[in-house]
Amino acid sequence: MGNCWGKGSASVDNHHSPNSTKPCSLDGASAGSENGKPAAANGGGGGAEEPPATAKAGEVITPNLKMYTLAELKSATRNFKPDTMLGEGGFGRVFKGWVDERTLAPSKVGNGIPVAVKKSNPDSDQGLREWQSEVKFLGKFSHPNLVRLLGYCWEDNQYLLVYEYMQRGSLENHLFRRGAEPLPWDVRLKIAIGAARGVDFLHTSEKNVIYRDFKSSNILLDADFNAKLSDFGLAKLGPAGGNSHVTTRVIGTYGYAAPEYIATGHLYVKSDVYGFGVVLLEMLTGLQALDNTRPSGQQNLVEWARPSLRDKRKLRKIMDSRLEGRYPLKAATQAAELILKCLEGDPKARPSMDEVLKTVEQIDTIREKRKEGKASTSSRPSSHQHHHNHHRSPIHHNHSADPPRGSGSRYSPSTVSRTH
């Protein structure tokens, strides 16, 4: 169900199904491999050399991860029983399992701690490449706003990853899933701050990692609504040696990917900032980045909402009606101004992630002045249906259908929908 498209393509073909084919590139080749082997893919833009993710026999050069056998993970998930499945995507499926809190060894259901086990589709080129990327980045990084990778398995042409379990699933589900409890304004800002901290951590000079797939389905929430970035299958080392960008095949999620990346394959550190702006806009409006069920002219959220972000009166009309006006207008106005900066067409004109983080933290200090009868009305795109799934093929497209299954948590390839 993935859709390949070339430069300048304006077509949007949303798919609500969580399934997708492996990512494709602008030249029509698979972005996951070359000649059946994992692709190194660091283009001519001067990217730093990427260290090998694996050694022979699947041994990973990462000391902090537990190496599981396939039998152990079958035990932890009750042989990947269907009722333990949390979601699925192009990479494969994600299951809920249980392990001992101290040893991380498999345990019985309800004993120890829950984990999310991501299991690739057999013989998947995309699965291998993204598995390596996950291990390479999440395996060596530790941060409160990155989902913790606990272990891995490579056996019988299957690639598995074991993550901490995020109780509240994805931000996408909370914003768009039918029947979901509306997130209050302060919780939305808390999530935005946490996600910004995660990306800012990746962008720091000593790490210099471009996340490349910032979207609401990749932001997972713990019991206290602390945000953590998941799905590092597309993460890439940033430019080195004074270069401004790396050049790579275009792959990601349509609607969130920066325009310069879509048009040229040039990936900047600030390409992530564009994606943050899109997600912050989703949080303001309660609308998904792309939704073909909306009327013509309203399907692309950025294009439709951009003019209203510059006008305080118009801004109030596009704010999420489920907030019922319970937000400081000054804070919403400043958030809109930040979104416009993040969505600048020229990556050099966008703020750094550190600047974005400081701005969101400042916005969070603005408190609402209580006034009765200030409920915000909505003239947002009709059919405020909460849909998900962004399919990732040189960028995945969103469409609607049924809501994601289970908790909808996306433990890496966006569990529900590699969507992404």
Burial track 88-112 (b if 16+ CB lie within 10 A, e otherwise): bbbbbbbbbbbbeeeebebbeeeeb
φ/ψ of residue 247, rounded to 5: -105, 130
* 271-272-278-282 Cα dihedral, nearest 10 degrees: 170
**CA 48/CA 216 separation, integer angstroms:** 28
**CA 105/CA 273 separation, integer angstroms:** 39
Residue 80 burial (C-beta neighbours within 10 Å; 0-12, 13-18, 19+): middle
**CA 419/CA 393 separation, integer angstroms:** 8
Cβ contact 126:118 at 8 Å: no
Quickly list DSSP for 382-400.
Answer: S----------SSSB-B--
Task: Name the region of 49 (left: φ>0; alpha: ψ -120 to 50; beta: rest).
Answer: beta
Rounded alpha-carbon distances, angstroms, from residue 92 to 11, 104, 240, 320: 27, 23, 33, 33
What residues are designated binding site?
Answer: 119
Cβ contact 215:256 at 8 Å: yes
Burial track 312-328 (b if 16+ CB lie within 10 A, e otherwise): eeebbebbbbbbebebb
Report how far Cα 326 is from the mean position of its chain's Cα atoms: 27
Active-site positions?
213
**CA 370/CA 373 separation, integer angstroms:** 10
Cβ contact 153:97 at 8 Å: no
Q: Which residue has 């210099």 as its token pair? A: 208
**CA 71/CA 63 separation, integer angstroms:** 22
Cβ-proximal residues to 84 (8 Å cutoff; 6+ apart), any chain = 77, 78, 95, 96, 97
